[in-house]
Chain A
Amino acid sequence: QVQLQESGPGLVKPSETLSLTCAVSGYSISSGYYWGWIRQPPGKGLEWIGSIYHSGSSYYNPSLKSRVTISVDTSKNQFSLKLSSVTAADTAVYYCARQPVSQAAAGAVDYWGQGTLVTVSS
């Protein structure tokens, strides 16, 4: 059973960098798939942030690209998100996810973490 678990600070100050990690169990990141981050501001819809392949190839939402870095650590079977220069508009539930692109359910998000709320406030 594939499981994803987000971890990181729940409160970040404005202008600082938000950092989250997603630990994956039940599947080896090195075996394939894209691994991504998706966020949801309180009461609003879903926004894709970016995704990374186990080889390190990464893709980002054009609207966030200048502030986002996603990295992967295959030795720990985890991947991470850094979002710089945060403002209150970055307050959201952040989900990590598995994204097949050449397997069954290609193009979709087939496994999600439970989500973690990050609040940007001084």
Chain B
Amino acid sequence: EIVLTQSPGTLSLSPGERATLSCRASQSVSSNYLAWYQQKPGQAPRLLIYGASSRATGTPDRFSGSGSGTDFTLTVSRLEPEDFAVYYCQQYGSSLWTFGQGTKVEIK
């Protein structure tokens, strides 16, 4: 089973700043089946990025995903007030889905 480790646990930034979130896998993620989600309090997660770097429908272009193998990154180029939330990475392989533990992006 692939374990995903996200860092940092919490990121304290100001609106307009750049956010860089990391997701590291214990084994190589097949076919780049790596996705990122945003979750706000009281809401279901929302798919932002799939296939490591493809934006889902409706995802603003300030969100970008990169990486391959075991190291993946979600970047928010300029934080908007609505971007402060918790972000999860998730992988799929061998008919199993696993999530990282999450990174909270909070207002500094």
Contact = CB atoms under 8 A, between A and B. Distances in A.
Interface of A: 36, 38, 45-48, 51, 59, 61-62, 95, 99, 101, 104-110, 112-115
Interface in B33-62: 33-35, 37, 44-47, 50-51, 54, 56
Nearest to B95: A59
Interface stretch (B17-25, B68-76, B96-104): B96-104
Contact of B33 (A61, A95, A107, A110): A107
29 contacts: A36-B97, A45-B99, A46-B37, A46-B88, A46-B99, A47-B99, A48-B99, A51-B95, A59-B95, A59-B96, A95-B44, A101-B92, A105-B35, A105-B51, A105-B54, A105-B56, A106-B31, A106-B50, A106-B51, A107-B34, A107-B92, A107-B97, A108-B33, A108-B51, A108-B56, A108-B92, A109-B37, A109-B90, A109-B97
Query: Which secondary structure dominates where chain B touches chain A?
Result: strand
A113 B44 contact: yes
Contacts, number: 75
B64 interface: no
Interface of B: 1, 31, 33-35, 37, 44-47, 50-51, 54, 56, 88, 90-93, 95-102
B51 A107 contact: yes
Contact of B45 (A59, A101, A105, A109): A109
Nearest to B92: A107
Given A36-B97, A45-B102, A108 B90 contact: yes
Contacts of A112: 44-46
A45 B47 CA distance: 15
Given A48-B97, A99-B97, A107 B31 contact: yes
A108 B47 CA distance: 8
B47 A105 contact: yes
